[in-house]
Structures are given as structure tokens and as C-alpha cells.
Amino acid sequence: MALQFVSSPSAVSRETSRELGGALIGEPSNGALPGWPVQRVFAPLLGATSAAIHETWLSDEPVIAGRSEDIVWRRADGLLFGVIELDEADFSPTTGASALQTASEEAYRRIFRLLDAEQVPHLWRVWNYLSAINLETDGLERYRQFNIGRQDAFLESRRGATGNVPAACALGLAGSPLSIAFMAGATPAVPLENPRQVSAYNYPAEYGPRSPTFSRGALVYPSGQEILFISGTASIVGHETVFPGDVVGQCREAMANVAAVLGEANRLSRSAPYALGDLAYRVYVRHANDLRAIRETLAPLVGAADIVYVQADICRHDLLLEIEAMASHSPEET
């Protein structure tokens, strides 16, 4: 099996039955969605020539489609891609748990039930979006509420919430439901950490009552292939934000972190080395006005790499951007 990632202003014009799923990023004028699982990232695309971009994972094998408990998914052999969108208004807050916490726990519970049933138990990569991520309600920031629900679901599914956890990102999008897309497989991922940073799952309590459950990156192995996912990466050293208020400083520091995770990937990879210029990037920018400074800072570091810029809120109020990236290699090309 080979997985291919394609990006274009429109969804492929004729469905081939090989689409596993993907994302629709931007503000499309026409609301029609393709028939495969699509995560809607309805946020302004910055500096793009089109209003929206479809990113689609294609399998070279026919795919099987399914739906369960609001998850729309497709699978091909040892790999499954799914999307779940939940409306927080459908969840009641309980004593000690906000509606968002409850919805987050429920979303992950459903994902784990599906993965167990489909025998693709290993969560490889997760894309998390929610509205008003930095808003404090009942004394706790919404991102921190999300972290409690997410961690509880990992613990409850006996997956553990440290070490072997998926690569991920978590961003705020205005008006978004709780939206979670995920890729999972029959084989375990090789999780990556960043030697410059405390693992997120070991963050101290000053960042919230529960640590976030994600790894800094992952190497995953659909058959005949190695995919590198670098998680959302920000200007954090140790566990602290560095360069608050300085977008160029944050951009350089975030790239130093991406390079550090890349170094770990190259240490553990079964394929040829990855280079910063070969990755496909998604960059989340808190203030659209910072786009130019970020572009100019990234240009010499990544060369002609593909970069999609999206306006989004980052999960700490003092972070101005977050950078994620991925690449695919054949293990044979060593």
C-alpha cells in the first residue's frame, strides 16, 4: 500500500474510490463537500491564491467507508482516517466538568472504540480544532478543559497518556465545532520527542491541571512507506514560551524546534534523511498582520517547500504561531 498526499484548490473532480480522507482549509464559496471524510478548517487562508485548499490522502488500494457514533471514516488495509465533529451544545456540563471537557472525552472515547473494533488500535496523528481556545470559563482556559477530557479518554482506554502518544496539533478556530481528524494504523508509530523541550505530557501544572496528550512527532509505517509527522511546534524551550511579543523570534525558535524533531526523526528513521526543505508545512498564524514577517523568516530556512498559512489561535495566549510539517519516504530509498 502507498499513501499519497495531494493538495489542490478543488477536490478531485471525479471520485476515484481511493480517497481516504482529508481537510478543506479556508473559506470556500461553495459549501459542497466531497464524499470522503473531510475535516473542515474554516479559517482564513493567508497569502494564498485561492480561497480554499483541499488536502486529500489517496490510497493505492480501494478503500472501505464507514460511519460510527458521528465519526465518518475510511480505511484501506492497515490504515484508517476519520473525522468527528461534535457540537458542545449537545453536551451538558456536570459538576467539575465543562461541556467542552465532556465533549472532548466523548470524542476520544468514540475514536478509541472505533479503532479497537476496526483493529487499527494505534493512533498515529490527530488534528484538534475548537472555538475560543484561549477563553477562560469557570476559571479554566478552554484548551485546559480539552486537555482534561482528552487525557481521561486515553487513560480510560488503557492507552496511557505518556510516551506512546500520537503526534498532534490543537488550534482555535472562530465558530468551529469541536473537530477532530485522525489517522490510525495496525502497526505502532515510533513517537518522537524534542530534546530541546520537556515532553508535553510532562508539562508542569502551571499549564493546566492535566498535561496535553501528544508527542512531538511520529514516524509511521503504512506498508512500503515511512511517513513523518511533525506535531504543531511553537516557540517553547523547556516548557516555557520564549520570545513573547516577538513574532520573528518565535518563528526562528519554532523552526529550531522543528529542526530538532527532524534530527530525532533522522536518528530513528528507516529511510533516507529528511531535510527541512523537503517537508510540507502548515503554519498557524495568530495575527494575520504577521504573515509577511513569518514568510520572510521562513524563506531562507525552508527554501521552496510548500507552506499553507492559516489564521488560527494558538493554545497559549502568548504564542503567535505554530508550525507543523510532514513528509513521506520509501524505506527502500536509503
Give dist(CA 185, CA 215) in Å, integer.
Answer: 16
Taking the complex as a whole, the smallest distance from the CB of residue 145 to ligand 3EB amounts, in Å, to 12
Residue 214 found at the interface with ligand 3EB (CB under 6 A): yes
Q: Which stretch binds ligand 3EB (CB under 6 A): 31-39, 114-122, 164-172, 283-291?
A: 164-172
Q: Binding string, 121-160, against ligand 3EB, x = CB under 6 A?
A: -------x--------------------------------
CA dihedral of residues 62, 64, 65, 70 (deg, nearest 10): -140
Cell numbers placing 76: 484501506
Answer for the pair 149, 100: CB distance below 8 angstroms, yes or no.
yes
Give dist(CA 117, CA 111) in Å, integer.
Answer: 10
Give whichever of 57 and 201 is closer to ligand 3EB, judged by the CB atom.
201
Residue 170 found at the interface with ligand 3EB (CB under 6 A): yes
Taking the complex as a whole, the smallest distance from the CB of residue 238 to ligand 3EB amounts, in Å, to 11
Answer for the pair 310, 282: CB distance below 8 angstroms, yes or no.
yes
Counting Cβ atoms within 10 Å, is residue 11 exposed (0-12), middle (13-18) or buried (19+)?
Answer: buried
Residue closest to ligand 3EB when measured from CB atoms: 232
- Is 118 one of the annotated active-site residues of the chain? no
Taking the complex as a whole, the smallest distance from the CB of residue 107 to ligand 3EB amounts, in Å, to 13
Give dist(CA 115, CA 34) in Å, integer.
Answer: 23
Answer for the pair 167, 194: CB distance below 8 angstroms, yes or no.
no
Residue 327 found at the interface with ligand 3EB (CB under 6 A): no
Q: Binding string, 33-72, against ligand 3EB, x = CB under 6 A?
A: ----------------------------------------
Angle between helices 247-268 and 291-302 (to 10 degrees): 30
CA dihedral of residues 107, 112, 115, 117 (deg, nearest 10): -110
- Residue keyed to cell 486537555: 147
Taking the complex as a whole, the smallest distance from the CB of residue 134 to ligand 3EB amounts, in Å, to 12
- Please tell me which residue in 322, 324, 332, 333 is annotated as part of the active site: 322
Give dist(CA 146, CA 130) in Å, integer.
Answer: 9
Nearest Cα neighbor of 164 from 185, 187, 182, 190 is 190
List the one residue from 212, 219, 221, 313 that touches ligand 3EB (CB under 6 A). 212
Q: By CB under 6 A, how many residues form the interface with ligand 3EB?
A: 13
Give whichever of 214 and 281 is closer to ligand 3EB, judged by the CB atom.
214
Residue 231 found at the interface with ligand 3EB (CB under 6 A): yes
Active site residues: 322
What residue ranges bind ligand 3EB (CB under 6 A)? Answer: 128, 168-170, 200, 212, 214, 231-232, 234, 236, 315, 322
